[in-house]
């Protein structure tokens, strides 16, 4: 099905945020339900006007997730604030990649793999970066 690249927010929510997705037990982090799913359709709508694919957005999520750990290595409050910003941005990208895939009907095993890889990388690197930060490295 070829859908418009300029849907309304209501159309996007209906197709990309059905209860079968948002209500599942392994849905995105709790902040998705709290506020990210309210914001993500606006970002998704902008992204749909570009040639970026759902997997392209997942790559952004991966880079952003890795950036959380990099930010934690910056001393002082700036590093913590950047890490917080990147963590929210990573979860926002995570909402958007699925929404794009559902809207364009381009879900794939590769997309699921990349999504999981992004989470595993971020969740694996963050404790390492925190340990280095606590030990005053670099």
Res. 1 pLDDT band, cuts 50 70 90 = low
Model confidence pLDDT, tens digit, residues 105-120: 999 999 999 999 999 9
pLDDT at residue 4, as a whole number: 81
CA 91 – CA 99 distance, rounded (Å): 13
The predicted model gives 82-108 an average pLDDT of 96
Task: Domains for the chain: give ranges and CATH numbers.
Answer: 9-134 (1.20.120.1760)
Model confidence pLDDT, tens digit, residues 19-34: 877 776 665 577 777 7
pTM over 0.75: yes
């Amino acid at each position: 099905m070829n859908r418009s690249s300029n849907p309304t927010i209501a159309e996007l929510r209906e197709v990309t945020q059905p209860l079968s997705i948002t209500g599942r037990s392994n849905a995105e982090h709790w902040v998705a339900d709290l506020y990210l799913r309210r914001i993500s359709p606006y970002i998704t709508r902008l992204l749909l006007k570009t040639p970026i694919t759902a997997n392209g957005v997942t790559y952004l999520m991966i880079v952003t997730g890795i950036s959380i750990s990099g930010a934690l290595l910056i001393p002082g409050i700036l590093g913590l604030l950047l890490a917080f910003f990147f963590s929210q941005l990573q979860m926002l990208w995570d909402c958007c990649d699925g929404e794009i895939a559902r809207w364009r009907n381009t879900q794939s095993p590769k997309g699921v793999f990349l999504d999981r890889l992004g989470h595993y990388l971020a969740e694996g690197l963050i404790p390492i970066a925190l340990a280095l930060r606590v030990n005053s490295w670099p």
